[in-house]
Amino acid sequence: MKRILEDVGGQIVVHSEPSKGTNITLRLPLERITEQEASDPKTNPLPTTMSELKDRKVCVYVGNPETYDAPEQMVHRKLVDRYVEALCSTLSQVLKSEIRCISTWDGMDDTEVMICPEVSFESLQAIRSSAAKAERKCPATILIAMDVLEAETLRSDARITSKESIVETMTQPAGHNKLAILLQQCLQQYDAVPNYEAGITAAPSDHTSHSTEHRSGKLKELEAQVSLYSLPPLVIRTKPEPTLKDMAVPVITAQASSDPTPVEIKDSAVPVTKQALIVDDNAINRRLLSAWMKRHKLPFKEANDGLQALNAYKSADRKYDVLLMDISMPVMDGMTSTRLIREYEMDNNLTPSHIIALTGLTSASAKLEAWTSGVDDFLTKPVDFKKLEQLMEAGRGGEGTGFLKEQGS
């Protein structure tokens, strides 16, 4: 920080007093803009953007408050409430927008943009379902990610790129300039979408999680057979359900890239695995995992997306013991693929495979949805190969694995 400030002519001053504390002052030289520059939309787009936001209907969608009823989740709930309060204050006092904060939505009002303060596919699906049931155009949705890594992960997710509704992502902090510009973009996209017409907008029971550019005949047939967002029965589990405290958002550092950096892979005990399936749309991630598999002399195959993984699982001559499943992928996301794999296992009385989610998503809601999808363990990227080895050695239902001990030793 000191070097960056000095490079641009600034300075950092630290002043400490015993029993009082420390004050840190950052000084940065900034050139004051002229009145002419302030009125130029290219230099200062905020006034023009604010004028376009006038009389537009924006809601902050906080989701179901019962999700945080557990005592161990009260701290997280309070943090979310404080963030929502600051977000609403920025929208109403700075951007002068009409703002409402809601936990449920029936689709019967004229809301044009929904802002989700946390990444939640459950909230996104609830918004889409309500709009379809009300036979109205679905509001544009803004998902606020924790950091750049999570935002970049989301942008490749089939549920985000789906044509069912407009979805944009942004990272914290949600300052007024960034919020105003993104709201303007969302409203322009929303206005360009035709009004709801029966038979054109997806019906409530046909919630696809696939971009229309990638949908094949097989996929349409698949959608007709099963709802892609239905939850599998959890009786197939062999270990206790984790508490929401175990799924709480970890404290992480921002990553410069959405792809994991190469790591040194050391020889160690070989996990007992007969066949593994690596599922990731990123070639670099697949190469890293493939190198680790080869080093441990483990047989494996690869899939580029969730649909390929589902088809490979069904057609495999040899059962996959372990699936390393990315969550955010085009064509079909990892959570939908996991749900369908679990349904296939139950329908055919198969022993469930060990599914480990490897993802850049770090929010508590993402972990909760992964669990309800049928995922056994959850690791965040960049992958910690030592933890991955521990999970594979422990096997499905092993003690001290992903959801329960991801942040542990």
Q: In what order do the strands lie in the sheet with 276-279?
A: 300-303, 276-279, 322-326, 354-359, 377-380
pLDDT at residue 302 is higher than 90: yes
Q: What is the pTM of this model?
A: 0.57
pLDDT at 250: 41
pLDDT at residue 206 is higher than 50: no
Give just the sign of the alpha carbon dihedral 173, 175, 181, 186.
Answer: positive
pLDDT at 190: 92
Highest mean pLDDT (candidates 128-132, 156-160, 238-242, 269-273): 128-132
pLDDT at 70: 58
Lowest mean pLDDT among 60-74, 107-121, 150-164, 299-313: 60-74
pLDDT at 392: 86
Cα 331 vs. chain centroid, distance in angstroms?
16
Output phi, psi for 392, to 5 deg: -70, -35
Place of tokens 């097989």: 218
pLDDT at 218: 37
The residue-averaged pLDDT of 50-79 equals: 76
pLDDT at 72: 59
Strand partners, 205: none
Q: What is the band of 49 on the pLDDT scale with cuts at 50, 70, 90? A: confident
> How confident is the prediction for the chain on average, in pLDDT?
76
pLDDT at 399: 54
User: What domains can be seen in the chain, in order of their start residue?
Assistant: 1-30 (no CATH), 43-192 (3.40.50.2300), 240-405 (3.40.50.2300)
How do residues 304-362 score in pLDDT, each as one tens digit? Answer: 999 999 999 999 887 898 999 998 888 898 889 999 999 999 999 988 999 999 888 77
pLDDT at 65: 62
pLDDT at 245: 46
Output phi, psi for 291, to 5 deg: -60, -40
Direct distance between the N- and C-terminal alpha carbons of the chain, in angstroms, rounded to an integer: 31
pLDDT at 33: 78
Q: Where are the beta strands (DSSP E) in 206-279?
A: 276-279
Give the Cα separation of 282 and 259 in Å (integer). Answer: 8
* C-beta separation of 368 from 380 below 8 A: no
pLDDT at 338: 92
Strand partners, 169: 143
Place of tokens 């060990």: 354
The percentage of the chain sitting over the pLDDT mark of 90, rounded to a whole number, equals: 23
The percentage of the chain sitting over the pLDDT mark of 70, rounded to a whole number, equals: 74
Strand partners, 26: 12
Lowest mean pLDDT among 87-96, 176-185, 193-202, 276-285: 193-202
Give the Cα separation of 321 and 279 in Å (integer). Answer: 14
